[in-house]
Amino acid sequence: MKTLSLVAPLVAALSLAACTTAEGPEGAAAGSPGPIVIITPSHDNPFFKAEAEAADARARELGYETLLLSHDDDANKQDQLVDTAITRGAAAIILDNAGADASVASLRKAKEAGVPSFLIDREINATGIAVSQIVSNNYQGATLAAQEFVRLMGEKGRYVEFLGRESDTNAAIRSKGFNDIIAKYPEMERVAQPSANWMQPEAFQKMETILQSTPDIRGVISGNDTMAMGIVAALKGAGRDDVVVVGFDGSPDALDAIRAGDMQATALQPAVPIARMAVDQADRYIKTGETGMPEKQSVDCLLVTADNADRFGSFELLPDPAPVSE
């Protein structure tokens, strides 16, 4: 897998939501390729909303019509939406998929119909079916988050780890990254490892229960920021401002919580640059039959803390301000 770093510029870069059209600089006129179909989980999660909107904007800049769809993490619904893309004569599918195994058949069907797919955020358990699989370096990001978590905990204390959705390979990769670091510190004791399926309400409810059964916890590390927001809310409700909270994603809500001191750190996934990269590669593939890149690509995550939170926007590192001329 080729790994790209965000420190250098990324030059390479419900149900049925709105179908949007635009004529960009290259003009999507009659006889041009079909729409670029963008399929993600629910836009209720700011991460998926941000990547969908970034892909949509980039595709329209390039002159394509777009169709935005949400599968709500339902593999059967995803299969129906892939059928929709095929029926609409899609030029390409940009997909944040509904399961590493469950998505393979749908994508194979799209490939056989002549519709290339470009995966973002989540990989599938197969190669040679999608043209590109572009993901954050989840393991690297998880080790960054865990190192900061251990430091903030003073290398000791009882803590909880919140897991993501079992069918999502990212959940297991992040958990491995967390635990490969934390296991080096014998005075760190994990007392619970619940799954909240990436969901804020579920994390809130489970955190309330844990606080009642295990009130002496000193930290919580979460597989994503949406769950972390539920955890923060539960801690606030219990009057607990002494618990370290570290997340993963770099959501706008998490950045605000870090700035406010309600959360201490998160590993930011560059979802917006990745979505733009996928569209750029789709555009090149549509025009030339190749992307010039390997199928599997990863982009490093970045650690966000109170010291640097103002340097980040919605799932991306903001450009340095232009120097002021005298």
Tell me whether residue 308 is in a domain. Answer: no
Total-model pTM: 0.83
Q: Are residues 10 and 117 in the same domain?
A: yes
Q: How many domains does the chain have?
A: 2
H or E segment at 265? strand 265-268
CATH number of 38's domain: 3.40.50.2300
Q: For residues 268 and 270, give the distance between their C-alpha atoms in angstroms, rounded to a whole number.
A: 6
Whether residues 277 and 130 fall in one domain: yes
Same domain, 263 and 165: yes
Residue 159's contacts (CB-CB under 8 Å, 6 or more residues apart) are: 149, 153, 182, 188, 189, 190, 191, 217, 218, 219, 220, 221, 244
Q: Which structural domain range is residue 186 located in? A: 138-268
Q: Is residue 305 a part of any domain in this protein?
A: no
Which pair of tokens denotes residue 2?
Answer: 């080729």
Length of the chain: 326
Is 18 among the domain residues?
Answer: yes
Q: Are 65 and 19 contacting, i.e. CB atoms less than 8 angstroms apart? A: yes
Within this chain, do residues 58 and 171 fall inside the same structural domain, yes or no? no
Are 28 and 83 contained in the same domain?
Answer: yes
Written as tens digits, the pLDDT of the chain (326 aa) is 665 554 333 333 333 333 443 333 333 344 678 999 999 999 998 899 999 999 999 999 999 999 999 999 999 999 999 999 999 999 999 999 999 999 999 999 999 999 999 999 999 999 999 999 999 999 999 999 999 999 999 999 999 999 999 888 899 999 999 999 999 999 999 999 999 999 999 999 999 999 999 999 999 999 999 999 999 999 999 999 999 999 999 999 999 999 999 999 999 999 999 999 999 999 999 999 999 999 999 999 999 999 999 999 989 999 877 666 65
- 16 in a structural domain: yes
Same domain, 121 and 214: no
